Structures are given as structure tokens and as C-alpha cells.
Chain A
């Protein structure tokens, strides 16, 4: 698997629109936080799991606890993908 951060962001965006359809049509930037966009705690967990399933990478949810915005989520996924490469 080889994905750029931008590609990870694109997958994340798809998940956000799928889980919180009210955001359809709204411009979402990588600096936005899911909470500020109106995603509740369950939505946020759901968005992350849906994204991980699409990318097919498994990361414990606890690692996302410190994420402040979408950028942080992308970083955590990016690091996990890199580690997968090193280990494989």
C-alpha cells in the first residue's frame, strides 16, 4: 500500500460525507476539527473506522485520542501505513 497524505485526506473526506450527510456541499479543510464540523463522539469514531476499513489498515482507536483536527488524524494513519511498510 502506498498512499500520499492527500489521498488519505480524500478517503477521510468520503467517510465524513457518508457518516454526516448534512455536511454534503460544505467545504471541509484539513485544518477543521471533526467536532467543530458537528460530528458527535460516535460519528467521529465511525468516520475513523470507516476510513481505516476503506484503506484496509488497522490502528487502535486509542491512538486517535489526542488528534485535534483532521490533519492529526491523517498524520496518525500515515505513520501507521509507513510502519506497515517497514515491517513487511
Chain B
């Protein structure tokens, strides 16, 4: 088995607080909340707030970003009648490729792979199609047969960028992003690929999924007057997660490949781990969270004294936040006074299947620019022993980061990112 170091050489993002990495970083630094009333509020829906992607059009994005007319036509042709999910993930992928210095017109390559994070990524399209064709099934769009498969995202990116290596869709509920990163990491580490485009399309939830989360008691923001105050990870008044939309893409690459083509290494993925609780329900468990953080450290050959900052899963759910806080204390012991903790979800909402991708991009930006972003709405921390970021960002040099994602069904993941010395 080869033992390649794994670099991150590019990334791109479209989410509620920024339509590219510059806007996203500025929003993280200033503590901008993406939460507001949903555009499509529905009567009967328990909670009508969320952090949605607003005012985004792929067409305008392509025109503003000065792509060649040829490329614009190619992208437009491939994304005709595509939902917002596809438009935003394509934009994020284009940003990531450009950021990594990879040509958009490259010859076919089988040394590059694609991994898409998430499952059931077209729920809103499904809902709208069902609503429209309930009484006239004979006119259902043939295109839907392609679109409803999650692999359509992988296939579209593969055609767009001429990528002919391996392709997978990796689902892991709210831990999908980290699960996909782990698989991409292993493809590179073991030498099966030189580069891997890891795509996290936004979770495109329909009113059905939103209401089922609400009926489960998982959704927060009940009766809140100011939507921006609804998402409050680690705060005593947290009452559930707030739905967020965000598409993000990363380019993972072997250190050797990055060096060969003279690419900038933005950070290194040191390693990570997944541990299942053996529990199909939605409740978080301390044993699994503790075990996965320890395993991620071990796999990455990183000690607790190396970690400067933890990007917590922290969804603003009372039980989830409390268990993660306890787990972090259990793993990091005396180091907890020193290690900064924040939750990107306080700004972006919970991006569910893409959360791990969005949050890793937040980690890279904070590492690159030397700051820790705020924890919005953290007024009364549930645990006074932990070093939570406050309401403003702080300038701090960060070398090593842990990013946690936990999903329904007892899926615990933790990955570790570090500054590169290459």
C-alpha cells in the first residue's frame, strides 16, 4: 500500500452567508447570520425559518466570473432545468477547480475521482414533481428519471470536468460530509487516485422533511421573534437545529501530485475516523463521540496537546450539544482550557448532508487567515469549563483542527486538518 500524504488544494462554496469563499470568509469573520424567514413559508409547517441560499443564479454567476463563452454554454446545457442544488454544487465545483489551479478543459483523466456527500439530495424536486403530477402521471418529466438518482450529481461533474476515475455517493445523514472526506482521503492515501473532487450538494429539503424533523422535536426556532436568534449552539436557550442550505466542494490531492504540478497546498488532511453506535435512532451517545475523537487522533498521529481548535458538530439541539460538550471534556481533559471551540452552524444553520464539507472549508479559512469565528447567540454557555468563542471573532494562529460531524443512526465522524509544512 502506498502511503501518500493528503493535501487540500482547492475549495469552493455557495451557502446562505456567501456565494464564494471570499464572501464566506468575510461572513465568518464578521459573524453574519444566514437565518431568516423561509421564502416559501407554508401554512401548517411548524417552523418557517432557515438559512437559505438567496439570490443565486448559476447563469449570472458564470457571467460575473468571466468564464469563456464555450464553458458557459457547456455548463448551461448540462444544467438546464436543474434544481438550485445542482446549480450551487456546480458553481462550488467550478470555484474549487479554479482555486486548485486545475484546467476546466483538461483531457480525460482516470487518476481523478469524484465523491459526492449525502443521499436523498433531490427531495424538493421529488415533492414538487409529485404535487404537479398527482392527477396526470402521464406527463411526468422524463428528465426526472435521471435527476432523482443522487449519482446524477457525480455524473454531471464527471462530464463537466472530464473526470474518468472512480465515482461514489457516500451517505451518512448529517455526517455525510465527513464520511465522504474519509473515503476520498483513503482513495488518495492508498494511491487509487491522485486527485479527488469531494462535492457536498446542499440538502434540498421539501416541506415533508422539514415537518418530520419538527414532529420529531429536532427542529428549533419555536416561536422565536427574531430568526437570527434562533440558532444558538451550546447556549442554554437552544431548542433544536435550524435548517441551512450550503453546497461546498474540495479538491483532495496527494502531496506528490500537488508538488508535481506546483499547486499551493492549502492544508493537509491528517486523518479521521468513523464509529457507529449500533443505534438506528436519532439520539447522540457519549461513548461513540468519545471513541471517534480518540480514534481520529490516533489515526492522524496527533495528540490532544496538538489540537488548537475544534469545529464542533453542535447543531443547537439541547441533548446533542450537551453530549458533545461532555465528550470533548472527556477526550481533551486538561487541554480544554486552551482549545477554542465554535460551531459554524450558528451562522449557516445545519446544512445536514453537506455540513462536514461546509465546516471543513470554514476550518481552512480560519486556519489560513488566523482567526476563530464567533459563536452567534451564545449568551449562557451550557458548560463554563469549555473555551467557546464569543460573539466576535478572535485573531488566533491555528495549526491543527478537529472537525466533528454526527448523524442520525449513530454515525460518529471526526477528521483532523493541519497546516502543511510542504
- B139 interface neighbour in A20, A21, A22, A49, Cβ under 8 Å: A49
Contact in complex: A52, B139 (CB < 8 Å): yes
Report A-chain residues with C-beta under 8 Å of the C-beta of B136: 53
Min Cβ gap B142→A in Å is 4
A58 within 8 A of B: yes
The verdict on A67 contacting chain B, using a C-beta distance below 8 Å, is: no
Question: By the criterion CB–CB under 8 Å, are B142 and A42 in contact?
Answer: yes
Near A by CB (< 8 A), chain B positions 374-417 give none
B58 to chain A, nearest CB (A): 14
CA distance A45 to B145 in the complex (A): 11
Contact yes or no, B138 A46, CB < 8 A = no
Which residues 109-148 of B have a CB within 8 angstroms of A?
136, 138-143, 146
Q: Does A19 contact B (CB under 8 A)?
A: yes
Specify the main secondary structure of chain A where it touches its partner. Answer: helix
Within 8 Å of chain A (Cβ to Cβ): is B39? no
> How many chain-A residues does the 8 Å CB contact rule pick out?
12
Q: By the criterion CB–CB under 8 Å, are A58 and B142 in contact?
A: no
Partner of B142, one of A20, A21, A22, A46: A46
Which B residues are in CB contact (< 8 Å) with A19?
80-81
**In the complex, which residues 45-60 of chain A have their Cβ closer than 8 Å to any Cβ of chain B?**
45-46, 49, 52-53, 58
From known contacts A22-B73, A42-B146, infer whether A49 and B80 are also in contact, taking CB-CB under 8 Å: no
Q: Known contacts A42-B143, A46-B143: does B138 contact A21 (CB below 8 Å)?
A: no
Whole-angstrom distance between the alpha carbons of A49 and B133 in the complex? 13
Q: Decide if B139 touches A53 in the complex (CB within 8 Å).
A: yes
CA distance A53 to B141 in the complex (A): 10
Q: How far is the CA of A11 from the CA of B381 in the complex (A)?
A: 63
Q: Indicate whether B42 reaches chain A with its CB closer than 8 angstroms.
A: no
A49 to chain B minimum Cβ distance, whole angstroms, is 6
Q: Please tell me if the beta carbons of B77 and A46 are within 8 angstroms of each other in the complex.
A: no
CB 8 Å contact bits of B69-109 with A (1 = contact, 0 = none) = 00001001100110000000000000000000000000000
Please determine whether A49 and B77 come into contact, CB atoms closer than 8 angstroms: no
Residues B141 and A46 in contact, CB atoms below 8 Å apart:
yes
Given contacts A46-B141, A49-B141, A58-B138, contact A22 B146 (CB under 8 A): no
Q: Is the CB of B73 within 8 A of A49?
A: no
A58 to B133: give the CA distance in the assembly, Å: 14
Specify which chain B residues have a CB less than 8 angstroms from the CB of A42 in the assembled complex.
Answer: 142-143, 146
Contact indicator per residue, chain A 30-65, by CB within 8 Å of chain B (1) or not (0) = 000000000000100110010011000010010000
Residues 62-88 (chain A) with a chain B CB within 8 angstroms: none
Bound CA span A30–B143, Å: 24
- Expressed in whole angstroms, the Cα–Cα distance for A42 and B79 within the complex equals 13
Closest-by-CB residue of B relative to A20 is B80
Residues of B within 8 A of A53 (CB): 136, 139
Q: How far is the CB of A87 from chain B (nearest CB, A)?
A: 16
- A19-B81 Cα distance, complex, nearest whole Å: 8
Q: From residue B78, how far is it (CB to closest CB) to chain A in Å? A: 10
Which one of B76, B139, B146 has the greatest number of beta carbons of chain A within 10 Å?
B139
Q: What would 10 A/B residue contacts be, using CB atoms closer than 8 Å? A: A19-B81, A22-B77, A42-B142, A42-B146, A45-B142, A49-B139, A49-B142, A53-B136, A58-B139, A61-B142
Q: For the A-B complex with A46-B143, A58-B138 known, give 10 more contacts whose Cβ atoms are closer than 8 Å.
A: A20-B80, A22-B73, A22-B76, A22-B77, A42-B143, A42-B146, A46-B142, A49-B139, A49-B142, A61-B142
Ranked nearest first, the 4 interchain pairs of A and B with the lowest CB-CB distance are A45-B142, A53-B139, A58-B138, A42-B143
